[in-house]
């Protein structure tokens, strides 16, 4: 999970449709800059576009089973689909 705010601008991140070394290359719809999680680093780095070399910080998130997450966070919301 990554922050999507830069210079007080809120970015809409999406998959660009490209992968590089089996990792999705993201882009922001506002500037079409490319964002990528570089190996060995945290967060997303802007590898091309207006925000060249800038970073979007990473937030902790967990891949787990629903029942374990729910047990830990009983107040949790769940995506409506």
Partner 1 sequence: MSLLLLFYLKVDPPGAVMKIFKADKQSWIHTAMLSLLFVGTSLFAFSLCGCSVTDVQDTVPRPVEVEESGEKIYITDQTGKQWEISHAVNKYGMQPENWQYGLGPNWFAPLILPKMRCPGDPGYPTGDDFFRNFSTDLVVGAEIKGDARAYPLAVLYNHEIADENFGGIYVAVAY
Residues within the interface to partner 1 (CB under 8 A): 1-5, 10, 12-21, 24-27, 29, 34, 36, 38, 45, 47-49, 52-53, 56, 59-67, 69-70, 73-81
Query: Least distance (Å) from partner 1 to the CB of residue 7?
Result: 13
Find how far residue 81's CA is from the centre of its chain. Answer: 21
- Helix (H) or strand (E) segment spanning residue 69: helix 66-72
Please report how close the Cβ of residue 42 comes to partner 1 at its closest, in angstroms: 13
* Nearest-approach distance from CB 55 to partner 1, in angstroms: 13
How far, in Å, CA of 76 to CA of 73, rounded? Answer: 5
């Amino acid at each position: 999970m990554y922050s999507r705010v830069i210079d007080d601008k809120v970015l809409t991140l999406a998959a660009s449709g490209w992968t590089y070394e089996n990792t999705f290359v993201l882009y922001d719809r506002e500037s079409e800059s490319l964002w990528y999680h570089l190996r060995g680093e945290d967060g997303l780095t802007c590898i091309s576009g207006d925000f060249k070399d800038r970073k979007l910080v990473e937030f902790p998130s967990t891949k787990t089973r629903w029942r374990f997450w729910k047990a830990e966070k009983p107040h949790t919301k769940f995506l409506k689909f």
